Structure 1
Amino acid sequence: MHSLKQALIFAAGLGTRLRPLTDRIPKALVEINGKPMLERLIEKLIAAGIQNIVINIHHFSKLIIDFVEKHNSFGVNIQFSDEADQLLDTGGGLKKAFSLFDPNLPLLLHNVDVVSNVDLNQLAEFHKESESIATLFVQKRISSRYLLFDENLKLCGWRNYKTGEKILVFNNDDKLIEMAFNGIHIVNPQLVKLITEEGKFSIIPVYLRLALSYKIFGFRDDDAFYLDVGNNENLAKAISLLKKYDV
């Protein structure tokens, strides 16, 4: 049995691609079919058995705090990691918020603007069985950036087709599989303790740095639906998608 009991929601972004909606509210409170993205995600996490949630905040942070308090923290323990002074990105955000979690349990990381029906319990079970320090939900879909995996879905590199950049953990890139990362991942406390980066930084370079010495795997589920609701076009898609799946 997995032990997924805590989660960090990344909700501190400015949401500039969702303007004009985010000129008056944070991205986390943008509604899809009458329900804010944050509320949808919290309900999903609670349904998966998670009882301890931290939300990182920056843009219109008081509105997020007020919203959670209005709902009595949805019956679970919800805390906030305030990035008022500086947006820290995923890596820096995780490092700052980590003291609010149980340091002995794995931690789910979830972007607030990611809509997906991936089974979080299956993700957690895979993470436990693989004995990895990080497990990333990935799919075979079109993207400008890909993580590179071997045939066992062990992380081996990263490629950005827009810039031409490529990072290889190992020298040989033959037969590597390109997979798109979906903004949902699980990390062990051990990984956080290995973070040496400071300030604002993405978690992806941390994964790539550690992949040489530690097991980091992709969890592939091409059947799950996924949408990054980071712009108005995808917001419209999400409205239709969630009506289709009746959620």
Structure 2
Amino acid sequence: MTSHALMIFAAGLGTRMRPLTDERPKPLIEVGGRTLLDRALDIGRDAGTQPIVVNTHYKGQMIADHLAGSDVAISHEPGPVLETGGGLRAALPLLGGGPIMTLNPDVVWTGPNPLSALSKAWDGERMDALMMLVPLDRALARIGGGDFSIDAKGRIGRGGDLVYAGAHVLNPARLAEVQDQVFSLNVVWDRIIAEGRAFGIVHPGGWCDVGRPETIAVAEAMLAKDARPDG
């Protein structure tokens, strides 16, 4: 299993998480006594990813202080929020040239390490993107419908009852195809999907979107259930 670089997206404004984000950036909100950022870092380190880069914007100094003395590099975005695609491209000098994993910290997982599973399934000969997905009926606190479907060969298409779970592997060379400074990874994904080089796998464990204050309790209940001997 090849080690990949990891980008953790931590530059968002966290508007849906207000008023909790009035005083701190969303990645520093705690779930079950541990910050969302530290939970994401745990997943990355457990999967052996290196280097690990975190991008920052809103209240970025608080994240920098939180990571002080660690082995995590910071890609600060002092101007406009670059969104996922622009933020990832800006961080490439810190991430290196190989396939890159990305992870959204505002998600809580149980079960197998999603990044380890992605690393094991990655095939750069066939793939330019590999996404971790979760069925809509197991996507706790999700608002809205599904994002993708998977065909018999594992290729993904838009529409369906599978939710993008906030973790994926990407060939970073595809980022150079976009001219805009600020852009979403969806722009890149659409091109890769059209070429049949976007794939997906399904996470078998628990998953909760921690995007609003009321979802913290949902995530904590999921974690508590997972920690019980009877599951």
After TM superposition, the structure 1 stretch with the greater mean CA deviation from structure 2, 59-68 or 92-101, is: 92-101
Quote how far apart the aligned CAs of 1:129 are.
7.4
Q: Could you tell me whether the CA contact under 8 Å between 1:134 and 1:191 is conserved in 2?
A: no
Quote how far apart the aligned CAs of 1:152 are.
2.1
SS at match of 1:63: helix
One of 126, 130, 134 as aligned partner of 1:131: 126
User: 2:171: which partner in 1?
Assistant: 188
Residues of 2 paired with 1:45 and 1:87: CA distance? 24
Q: Could you tell me whether the CA contact under 8 Å between 1:4 and 1:106 is conserved in 2?
A: no
Change (3 A) 1:189 1:202: closer
Letter in 1 for 2:117: Q
Q: Could you tell me whether the CA contact under 8 Å between 2:9 and 2:54 is conserved in 1?
A: yes
Q: Could you tell me whether the CA contact under 8 Å between 2:75 and 2:91 is conserved in 1?
A: yes
Quote how far apart the aligned CAs of 1:181 are.
0.8
Quote how far apart the aligned CAs of 1:93 are.
1.1
Quote how far apart the aligned CAs of 1:145 are.
4.2
Q: Could you tell me whether the CA contact under 8 Å between 2:55 and 2:87 is conserved in 1?
A: yes
User: 2:59: which partner in 1?
Assistant: 60
User: 2:189: which partner in 1?
Assistant: 207
User: 1:155: which partner in 2?
Assistant: 156
Count of residues paired in the alignment: 220
Quote how far apart the aligned CAs of 1:54 are.
0.8
TM-score of the aligned structures, taking structure 1 as reference length: 0.82
Residues of 2 paired with 1:98 and 1:129: CA distance? 18
User: 1:98: which partner in 2?
Assistant: 92
Q: Could you tell me whether the CA contact under 8 Å between 1:133 and 1:188 is conserved in 2?
A: yes
**Misfit runs of 4+, over 3 Å:** none
Residues of 1 paired with 2:224 and 2:78: CA distance? 35
SS at match of 1:211: helix
Q: Could you tell me whether the CA contact under 8 Å between 2:148 and 2:164 is conserved in 1?
A: yes
Quote how far apart the aligned CAs of 1:99 are.
1.8
Residues of 2 paired with 1:150 and 1:242: CA distance? 31
Residues of 2 paired with 1:199 and 1:147: CA distance? 26
Q: Could you tell me whether the CA contact under 8 Å between 1:133 and 1:214 is conserved in 2?
A: no
Residues of 2 paired with 1:178 and 1:246: CA distance? 28
Quote how far apart the aligned CAs of 1:180 are.
1.3
Residues of 2 paired with 1:209 and 1:200: CA distance? 17
Residues of 2 paired with 1:215 and 1:51: CA distance? 25
User: 2:5: which partner in 1?
Assistant: 6
Matches within 5 A, 1:1-247: 2-69=1-68, 72-73=69-70, 76=71, 78-103=72-97, 105-117=98-110, 118-119=112-113, 120-128=115-123, 131-142=126-137, 143-156=144-157, 158-159=158-159, 177-193=160-176, 195-221=177-203, 223-246=204-227
Q: Could you tell me whether the CA contact under 8 Å between 1:155 and 1:208 is conserved in 2?
A: no
Residues of 2 paired with 1:212 and 1:18: CA distance? 34
TM-score of the aligned structures, taking structure 2 as reference length: 0.87
User: 1:169: which partner in 2?
Assistant: none
SS at match of 2:7: strand
Quote how far apart the aligned CAs of 1:34 are.
1.5
User: 2:141: which partner in 1?
Assistant: none
Residues of 2 paired with 1:7 and 1:207: CA distance? 18
SS at match of 1:208: helix
Q: Could you tell me whether the CA contact under 8 Å between 1:5 and 1:107 is conserved in 2?
A: yes
Quote how far apart the aligned CAs of 1:211 are.
2.3
Residues of 1 paired with 2:124 and 2:226: CA distance? 30
* Unmatched 5+ stretches in structure 2: 138-143
SS at match of 1:13: coil
Q: Could you tell me whether the CA contact under 8 Å between 2:8 and 2:55 is conserved in 1?
A: yes
